[in-house]
């Protein structure tokens, strides 16, 4: 992640500054169709923070996101970055002669099974190398970035899952020895204190389980928990343009989900890795997030583009039952 020169970052930043389509009269970045500053609404109230989830796949280039975050912060927007790193964890396991283990839940969601050895590697790679490298990259771009894991300050906490339900050879089984957990609490006060002090938190898992042991947690869902706790807009950056009605056809991008019916269609369309991102969108909105956008990381201005209508937008109305439905 440190393969970008200062000149490249500055050039990307200047390109964003010169992008007049994304600027408004007072120099702020336009958000949505309102034409208001990224920091202040028309009524003088402050815009909600932006939580950005940067994926850990090789196909996700963080360069554009780094420049966007630098520009958003310079214009007064509070930003929290949450990052993944599953590819780097798998590569490190393989270098050590270990085989990464993935399992499928009864609901069809695939995820990592984190045994004791995998947890050791996870702790080395995620809060160690990846978080340090990404924090340094943001600081090189002029962002006062501060790296944190979910353990620091009890940032991400919740119950531990020592066993998980899986499907193997078509049969439902209980697989024990998992080192993972479910995030049920976010230390929002810590994040708000850092934001008020001018810092941009760069957050990664592990989380801290209720027995005091660091355990793995899904990074998309960690970002969702943070966005919900802060009442933020969540931008989930990935290696495709958003959620497609036909997963093999990018021209079928689903641009919005504003009603329960549209959200149901979104859930039905999501396959593979996108299933967790849609699940995270629901959890974020249930937790109090203002909006969720699933968008392409590999654009020049990926975050600004997402906030201005790019990608798939999911709003709180997507989780509200139609009026009178319960009568």
Known binding residues for substrate are 112, 216
What burial class does residue 229 get, using C-beta atoms within 10 Å of its C-beta: 0-12 exposed, 13-18 middle, 19+ buried? buried
Q: Count the neighbouring beta carbons within 10 Å of the beta carbon of residue 188.
A: 15
Rounded CA separation 254/276 (Å): 16
Tokens linked to 32:
């949505």
Whole-number Cα distances in Å, 97 to 6, 93, 94, 102, 116: 36, 6, 5, 16, 15
What does residue 55 show for φ and ψ, rounded to 5 degrees? -70, 160
Reported as half-sphere exposure (CB side, CA atoms, 13 A), residue 245 has a value of 9
Q: Are 8 and 140 in contact (CB under 8 A)?
A: no
Residue with tokens 């990664």: 204
Rounded CA separation 246/257 (Å): 16
Helix (H), strand (E) at residue 263: helix 260-269
At 161, is the secondary structure helix, strand, or coil?
strand
> Which one, of 110, 20, 30, lies nearest residue 310 by Cα?
30
Residue with tokens 């947690």: 217
Annotated binding-site positions: 112, 216
H-assigned helices in 23-79 = 63-74
Q: Could you say which DSSP state residue 216 is in?
A: B
Q: Are 229 and 186 in contact (CB under 8 A)?
A: yes
């Amino acid at each position: 992640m440190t393969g970008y020169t200062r000149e490249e970052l500055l050039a990307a930043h200047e390109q964003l500054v010169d992008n007049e389509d994304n600027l408004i009269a007072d120099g702020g970045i336009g958000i949505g169709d309102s034409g208001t500053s990224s920091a202040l609404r028309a009524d003088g109230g402050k815009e909600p923070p932006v939580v950005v989830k940067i994926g850990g796949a090789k196909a996700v280039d963080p360069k554009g996101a780094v420049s966007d975050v630098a520009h958003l912060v310079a214009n007064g927007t509070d930003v929290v970055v949450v990052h993944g790193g599953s590819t780097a964890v798998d590569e490190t396991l393989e270098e050590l002669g270990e085989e990464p283990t993935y399992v499928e839940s009864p609901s069809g969601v695939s995820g990592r099974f984190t045994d004791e050895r995998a947890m050791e590697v996870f702790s080395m790679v995620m809060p160690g190398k990846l978080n340090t490298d990404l924090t340094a990259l943001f600081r090189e771009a002029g962002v006062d970035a501060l790296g944190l894991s979910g353990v620091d300050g009890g940032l991400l906490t919740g119950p531990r899952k020592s066993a998980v339900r899986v499907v193997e050879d078509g049969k439902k089984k209980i697989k024990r020895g998992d080192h993972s957990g479910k995030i049920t609490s976010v230390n929002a006060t810590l994040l708000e204190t850092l934001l008020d002090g001018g810092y941009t938190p760069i957050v990664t898992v592990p989380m801290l389980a209720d027995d005091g042991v660091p355990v793995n947690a899904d990074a998309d869902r960690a970002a969702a928990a943070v966005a919900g706790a802060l009442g933020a807009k969540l931008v989930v950056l990935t290696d495709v343009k958003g959620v497609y009605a036909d997963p093999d056809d990018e021209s079928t991008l689903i641009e919005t989900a504003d009603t329960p019916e549209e959200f149901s269609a979104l859930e039905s369309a999501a396959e593979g890795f996108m299933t967790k991102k849609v699940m995270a969108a629901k959890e974020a909105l249930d937790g109090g997030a203002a909006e969720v956008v699933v968008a392409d990381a590999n654009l020049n201005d990926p975050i600004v583009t997402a906030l201005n209508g790019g990608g798939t937008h999911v709003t709180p109305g997507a989780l509200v039952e139609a009026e009178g439905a319960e009568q």
